[in-house]
Amino acid sequence: MIELGVNIDHVATLREARKGRVPDVVMAAKICEIAGAHQITVHLRQDRRHIQDRDVERLKEVLLVRMNLEMAAVPEIIKIAHRITPYTVCLVPENRQEITTEGGLNVSGQKEGLKKVIDEMHEKGIKVSMFVDPDIEQVHASAEIGADSVELHTGAYANAEEEKLVNELERLYEAGKVANQLGLAVHAGHGLTVRNLEPVAKIPGLKEVNIGHDIIARAIFIGLDSAVKEILAILEKVSNK
Ligand code: PXP
């Protein structure tokens, strides 16, 4: 079955709106876990706008499922990842002004630096994923420098006008196919929702999706448990076909 990582950053966004204790990200993570999520994903941003260092530490202590830490490949955050040792780190580009992660990582343009980051993560037993656009050059570069997986950026697909949808899906399918051939595990994420997930779940060999905003947004109305379960039901349906 394609596995689900729930990104709980926006539970922390709501908490940080009042700089208080609620809603608690650990409670959210445990509800996702009980609902059947396979992984909890958090992005420790350099500006700490939502997830805080303490959240990552607490999650590492209490999670029974895997923790996936999204992060920029910068010394401060690399040091934290080495100390906390999440199951996976997903390297993402980070720009302080952006509302959310905007594009994929330029792996081919910084192979040497990123290879060093990957090697050091591997020494600590941490798997490394590269968040890349569905671009064959970036997939090749990720394989060359020893990444374990690529997370294909689905933002362009999620935002595409009707007439461009097929084209964006084809890019994702092609990138997935090449990643499989190169021995990379294939993940996908960004902008995925209950309404647009199904075609993405058909990316060849897809192993994992990471979904945040839509699950947390729907949780306000239908509850977190139900919001996780409706995504799991889609993944199960596609996996069984
Ligand atoms: N995957 C990665 C690498 C991301 O940066 C994000 C956004 O933090 C997500 C998945 C989740 O995106 P969304 O919140 O749009 O579901």
Contact assessment for residue 12 and residue 52, using Cβ atoms and an 8 Å cutoff:
yes
Identify the band that residue 13 occupies on the pLDDT scale cut at 50, 70 and 90.
very high
Q: Which two tokens stand for residue 88?
A: 């996976």
Averaged pLDDT of the chain: 96
pLDDT of amino acid 241: 78
Residues 6 or more apart whose CB falls under 8 angstroms from that of 26 comprise 55, 58, 59, 62
Q: What's the first-to-final CA gap in the chain, in angstroms?
A: 11
Contact assessment for residue 6 and residue 212, using Cβ atoms and an 8 Å cutoff:
yes
Reported in sequence order, the residue ranges of 154-196 that DSSP labels E, i.e. its strands, are 185-189
- Report CA(211)–ligand 1 centroid distance (Å): 6
C-beta neighbour count of 62 within 10 angstroms: 10
pLDDT at 101 over 70: no
Instruction: Give catalytic residue positions.
Output: 43, 70, 190
Q: Which is the closest atom of ligand 1 to the Cα of 190?
A: 12
Helices in 90-164 by DSSP H: which ranges?
111-123, 136-144, 155-159
pLDDT at 102 over 90: no
Spell out which residues line ligand 1, taking CB within 6 angstroms. Answer: 7, 9, 43, 70, 90, 92, 100-101, 131, 151, 189-192, 210-214
* Ligand 1, atom 9, residue with closest C-alpha: 190
Tens digits of residue pLDDT in 171-196? 999 999 999 999 999 999 999 999 99
Q: What is the pTM of this model?
A: 0.97
In CATH, what number does 3-239 get?
3.20.20.70
